[in-house]
Amino acid sequence: MLRALKKIALASAAAGQVMMPGCQPAGPLGRAGLELTPPASWRPVEPPPGKVPGVPLAAWAGPDGSSLLIFRTLPVPGGSPTMIAQALANRLTNLPGLRLVFGRVETVGGTSAARVEVVAPGTGDALAPSGLGTPTAPAGKSLIPTRQVTLGFLRETATLYLTWHAPESSYGRIAPEIEATLKSCRLTSGGKTSSYEY
């Protein structure tokens, strides 16, 4: 009797494993409808840092103390990539010591995306907090000029953001790795592209 129960349990487990692939995209990125592959020099960070204006989905640490964080926020009905770029640029320009490099719309993985780049005081892997109007270095770190590259994708169920940080002095080295990651980027049906994109 015990053998029969074991066989049933094993058969059920095997059937469950067979049914699992394809039922739902694996991991938070797949469920959000995003596929990408950072270069081999970037290592995953688990769990992703929680200090983001949304829900963190994945994170990587890169060369020279750089970082990549992917998070999602609420959808923006009636929004457009241009609107997202303008809103993000406007919000960031209020940070002390920040210089807006550019804000624009570009195509990534066949989808229009907002792209905003800034340079501001930070630690290389993040911009410095500045709640009182003055950038503050975390304990044990010094402030250095830090490049932030943010891309925003409008989806039907959420807005996805990819945000890189790198020391500005290393940006020339990191920029090709950012572009390589963007070339690998594919948006799938998991998050559904917003019908309000145009």
In tens, the pLDDT along 11-63 reads: 333 333 333 334 445 688 888 889 999 999 999 999 888 788 899 999 999 99
Cα–Cα distance, 67 to 52 (Å, whole number): 13
Whole-prediction pTM value?
0.81
Per 3-state DSSP, the chain is made up of helix, strand and coil in percentages (nearest 5) of 30, 35, 40
pLDDT band of 5, cuts 50, 70, 90: very low
Cα 195 from Cα 191, distance rounded (Å): 12
CA end-to-end distance (rounded Å), the chain: 64
In order of their start, the domains of the chain are 27-187 (3.40.1000.10)
pLDDT at 85 (0 to 100)? 96
pLDDT tens-digit map of 141-168:
999 999 999 999 999 999 999 999 999 9
- Return the percentage of the chain with pLDDT > 70, whole number: 82
